Amino acid sequence: MAETKPNPRKAYIDAQIKGGSTKTRAELGRDYDDLQAKKATTVSNPVDLKAKVDRYAPAYSFLLDPNGAFGADVAQVLADAVAKNYDSTRFEGALAATNYFKTATPEQKAFAKKQLPAGKAQLTAEANTIKQLAKSYNYALSNAELQAVLTGAPMPGTTKAISQDELLNKMKLSAKGVLPHLSDQIDAGLSLKDIGENYKQYAAQILERDPNQINMFQGPFLDAFGNKETGQMSLGDWVAKLKTDPRYGYQHTRAANRDAQSLALTIAKAFGKVK
């Protein structure tokens, strides 16, 4: 009588049921198949590796970014983690021992760790903070600058990284170059947004507009900042300009309509048309 070959799939299913699993035999069969597929994970099949990392360890998928510089040993850790079902502690320990995490700058390590679930929210918050800073200085922030600050990687074409403080100084220098007469205020810690805020509130009130709809860095609103020759506009001059320069649209406000009616009534009274 021929010897029956052991069936590891059936043995796995039987063992799980005996151990108290409430899954069906079909579900346990799929679990077994998944385990075997995981065990077959290798770096020699990058397409399969990426698919399995995306499925079984999606929080670490960024480490397989073809544009990244994480290296072959990081890919090997990912393959081993999938094949051997690493827990998070073992996973993190294995990553820390790779060349990338041994030689990366503190900023690069921090960026890589922030890509993991616990740090993504923090990274997003930092990116938003930098973007808001750029807006407050009317600075055209490039994606290369943003990524350099977040990752600690050198700017393209350079060997030097840039910190958030260095980028902020660059924004200030740019603002002072365009509006040198505001240098003292910028050096004192005010952004262009801070300097323009009072003008914006006056404009919103006089033009009967939502202040959030007014961009002090666009169109005629830029006039409030003045120039090197004339200096910053006084609030009195600003109010007068808002009411007399048709580019701002004061003539379409309810206040302008009341002013026009009042003027018409005054003229009519002067000529005896109205008593």
What are the pLDDT digits (tens) for 173-199?
Answer: 999 999 999 999 999 999 999 999 999
- pLDDT of the residue at 68: 58
* Boundary (domain end) residue, out of 73, 103, 133: 103
**What Cα–Cα distance (Å) separates residue 242 from each residue in 198, 234, 248, 250, 264?**
14, 12, 6, 7, 22
Count of structural domains, the chain? 3
Specify if 26 maps to a domain. no
Mean pLDDT, residues 227-243 taken together: 94
Query: Global pTM?
Result: 0.59
14 belongs to a structural domain = no
Domain identity same for 262 and 197: yes
Burial of residue 8 (CB within 10 Å: 0-12, 13-18, 19+) is exposed
Report if residue 13 sits inside a domain. no
Nearest-CA neighbor of 106 among 39, 161, 186?
161
- Amino acid in the structure at residue 267: I
In this structure, the number of other CB atoms found within 10 A of the CB of residue 127 comes to 14
Residue 256 CB-density burial (10 A; 0-12 exposed, 13-18 middle, 19+ buried): middle
Task: Report the C-alpha gap between 156 and 38 in whole angstroms.
Answer: 38
Contact call for residues 192 and 136 (beta carbons, < 8 A): yes
Residue 153 lies inside a defined structural domain of this protein: yes
Chain segment 32-88, per-residue pLDDT in tens: 787 787 787 788 888 888 888 888 888 788 787 655 567 788 889 999 998 888 888
Write out the two tokens for 103. Answer: 């030689």
* pLDDT averaged over every residue in the chain: 84
Q: Are residues 162 and 220 in the same domain?
A: no
Q: Print the domain residue range for 243.
A: 192-270
In a domain, 147, yes or no: yes
Residue 196 and residue 252 in one domain = yes
